[in-house]
Amino acid sequence: MPQSIVRHEHVHLYAAQPQTDAGRELSNAILELRHAEQVQADRSQRISGLGGIDLSALRYLVQARREDREVSPKDLIVMLGTSSATVTNVIERLVGKGYVLRQQHPTDRRAHYLVPTDAATALVDEVYGGHHGAVVSVIDDLDEEAVVTATAVIRRIAVTLDDLAKRS
């Protein structure tokens, strides 16, 4: 019985069901998407061999590099929403695995930037490429009307959830 509960928890709605059959189907589909995203997050950690916070840090660093931005350890503290001690440990692990280099700040000898290595970029692409490619493939198979409708619904839900978070 416990495994049955765990197996089906991701489709349990902790609110009143939508009023229509179509609404219930949409609600179930959103819960299934949320579950699939969590499975992909777990898969990403497993493939990368990194913990969640380390992988998030690496993603941020790779994205910053692609945007030609420099990231300091202080920036990473803000991005990850965690303590300096935690970020120090994350950096040490990523440096130790060859995924991050410390680059001296050009004018402040006390400061440095964090630069992802080519191996880090390759790892992030490997870990997320299949997941993101699968999403894009489904989107590309939709007709324009379905894309417009899906975009409106997803954005409305996202804004509503963001507003809920801001009130808490």
Neighbours of 63 (CB within 10 A): 14
pLDDT score, position 6: 58
The first and second tokens of residue 79, run together, are 């991005």
Instruction: Kindly report the average pLDDT of the chain as a whole number.
Output: 91
Enclosing H/E stretch for 92: helix 84-96
Enclosing H/E stretch for 90: helix 84-96
Question: Can you list the domains of the chain with their CATH numbers?
Answer: 20-167 (1.10.10.10)
DSSP 27-63: HHHHHHHHHHHHHHHHHHHHHHT--HHHHHHHHHHHH
Q: Determine whether 12 is exposed, middle or buried from the number of CB atoms within 10 Å of its CB (0-12, 13-18, 19+).
A: exposed
pTM of the full predicted structure? 0.80
11 or 65, which is more confident? 65
Confidence class of residue 17 from pLDDT cuts 50, 70 and 90?
A: confident
